[in-house]
């Protein structure tokens, strides 16, 4: 793409450089810059990309787009043999430049986006399964994995930078994809990493306390989520799928006024409603009431929270043109989502061990309630292991402790990605919440040792809930990141017992 065409697609304040400059790619990481790339230098929360302009030019950058007046003037004075443009918003420019150079792949995919505190990953997986069941080729971008058709890739972030999202979309278009499903985190919405993406169907799962280390207040957290329904550099979604049983879902009805609103729930005014719910270990059945009629639903996923996820995905699939029968088939075929109520094979021990990503007090409460439901008939106990992440919202630590203590027969408190903090200091803050409930609590800082304690404390008929890490395969410590897998550690402990 010629320089003149390039800057015509980006919100440029000023520009300089020879019209003959050819831009063949876009990068925001100077280490990835190659000959012909435009390097977008933008200020971020952790670092300033403008510090790496010289390195990008040395590696062959054909152009530099910067949100720094000082950097722009410096390049122009040096009469560098590169195109240079000054922009007001670095992240918006990154999105606009990437879309233009890649041929606007976002315009060739029908995008469904999921936001909320809990349930984003499962809802996205379910919606993709429903779309794939009617032979639609999909792109999925989420916390656990990225899918490009049948190809599975590792996801480094819940919502990547716009350049990386668009590159995945471009790969999807080449693979014949017509649909995209992605999780949109509050960070990504506020930081405009999803700038310019035209969302067809937007889904809201729920909102509970999380990420207040970043957003500071629940209102600011909610405001970040609302941006999906207002449109981030694009028109509002055609359809908004909202949780009618969540108070923030009710508030979103007015905000999503330019969209067709489809609501779902189990208690209130949801148009997609679940009735006659039956929950067993490894299976959930219910009758789904919808504007198009009634359909019997069956899923290998378990629990009340997954009924909500199934309703949300079903409403979105219906908005994307699937029939109720097609939705039911897709729901039944939906596979286990890694780290989301993932049952660890336990042989003939009679103990049920579950790994789950629950890392907020609300998610922990829901997980424990499900565990209690599953052991009720056989008189089993609920043993809950959890920890709290370091360098994150400290106010939720005692709340998580209280949730664990109120619902469990035994709590094992341990470490969960302490990062730069002292693990025992984090544990003490969570312990205050457990202690207030009077429930017996065992403290073991070493997570592997804690998992073994939790499992060895169980007897036949009990359920052991290993909460917090879910699909994660590492433990993030002050001195670095080390491999760690709750599923593998639990499986080894169960093997020893057997």
Binding residues for ATP: 116-122
Residues forming a β-bridge with 239: 201, 260
Best CA proximity match to 61, nearest among 471, 71, 69: 71
**Spatial contact of 159 and 95, defined as CB atoms under 8 Å apart:** no
**Spatial contact of 144 and 338, defined as CB atoms under 8 Å apart:** yes
State the alpha helices, DSSP H only, in 134-284. Answer: 162-174, 186-191, 212-215, 218-230, 247-255
- Measured between alpha carbons, how far is residue 276 from residues 195, 284, 411 in Å? 42, 11, 32
**Spatial contact of 162 and 94, defined as CB atoms under 8 Å apart:** yes
Q: Give the integer Cα–Cα distance in Å for 122 and 417.
A: 22
Element (H, E) at 406: helix 396-407
Q: Give the integer Cα–Cα distance in Å for 183 and 174.
A: 22
Write out the binding residues: 30, 116-122, 158-159, 185, 191, 193, 392, 416-419, 468, 472
Element (H, E) at 299: strand 293-299
Q: Give the integer Cα–Cα distance in Å for 319 and 130.
A: 12
Write out the binding residues for meso-2,6-diaminopimelate: 392, 416-419, 468, 472
Positive or negative: CA dihedral 464, 470, 471, 473: negative
Taking each helix axis from N to C end, the angle separating 304-319 and 361-375, rounded to the nearest 10 degrees, works out to 110
**Spatial contact of 448 and 454, defined as CB atoms under 8 Å apart:** no
Structure tokens at 475: 């433990």
Counted residue by residue, the chain has a size of: 498
């Amino acid at each position: 793409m010629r320089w003149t065409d390039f800057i015509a697609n980006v919100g440029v304040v000023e520009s300089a450089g020879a019209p003959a400059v050819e831009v063949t790619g876009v990068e925001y990481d100077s280490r990835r810059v190659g000959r012909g790339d435009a390097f977008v230098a933008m200020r971020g929360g952790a670092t300033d990309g403008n510090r790496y302009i010289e390195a990008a030019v040395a590696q062959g950058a054909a152009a530099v787009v910067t949100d720094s007046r000082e950097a722009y003037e410096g390049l122009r004075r040096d009469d560098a043999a590169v195109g240079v443009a000054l922009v007001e918003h670095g992240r918006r420019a990154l999105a606009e430049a990437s879309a233009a150079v890649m041929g606007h792949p976002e315009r060739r995919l029908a995008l469904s986006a999921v936001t909320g505190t809990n349930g984003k990953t499962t809802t996205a997986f379910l919606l993709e399964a429903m779309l794939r069941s009617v032979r639609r080729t999909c792109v999925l971008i989420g916390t656990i994995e990225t899918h490009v058709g049948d190809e599975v890739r590792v996801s480094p972030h819940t919502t990547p930078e716009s350049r990386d999202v668009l590159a995945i979309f471009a790969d999807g278009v080449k693979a014949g994809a017509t649909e995209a499903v992605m999780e949109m985190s509050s960070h990504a919405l506020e930081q405009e990493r999803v700038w310019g993406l035209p969302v067809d169907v937007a889904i809201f799962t729920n909102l509970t306390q999380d990420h207040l280390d970043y957003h500071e207040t629940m209102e600011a957290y909610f405001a970040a989520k609302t941006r999906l329904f207002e449109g981030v550099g694009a028109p509002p979604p055609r359809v908004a799928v909202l949780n009618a049983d969540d108070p923030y879902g009710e508030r979103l009805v007015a905000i999503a006024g330019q969209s067709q609103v489809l609501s779902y729930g189990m208690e209130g005014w949801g148009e997609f409603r679940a009735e006659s719910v039956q929950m067993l270990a490894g299976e959930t059945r219910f009758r789904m009431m919808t504007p198009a009629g009634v359909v019997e639903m069956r899923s290998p996923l378990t629990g009340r929270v997954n009924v909500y996820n199934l309703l949300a995905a079903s409403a979105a699939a219906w908005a994307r043109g699937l029939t109720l029968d097609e939705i039911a088939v897709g729901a039944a075929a939906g596979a286990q989502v890694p780290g989301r109520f993932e049952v660890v094979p336990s042989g003939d021990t009679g103990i049920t061990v579950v790994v789950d990503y629950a890392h907020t007090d609300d998610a922990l409460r829901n997980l424990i309630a499900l565990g209690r439901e599953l052991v009720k008939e056989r008189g089993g106990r609920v043993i809950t292991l959890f920890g709290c992440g370091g360098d994150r919202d400290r106010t939720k630590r005692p709340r998580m402790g209280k949730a664990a203590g109120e619902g469990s027969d035994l709590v094992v408190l341990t470490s969960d990605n302490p990062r730069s903090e002292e693990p025992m200091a984090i544990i003490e803050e969570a312990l205050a919440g457990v202690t207030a409930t009077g429930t017996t609590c065992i403290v073991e800082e070493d997570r592997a040792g804690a998992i073994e304690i939790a499992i060895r404390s169980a007897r036949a008929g009990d359920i052991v809930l290993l909460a917090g890490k879910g699909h994660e395969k590492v433990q993030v410590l002050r001195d670095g990141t080390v491999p760690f897998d709750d599923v593998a550690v639990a499986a080894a402990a169960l093997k020893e017992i057997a």
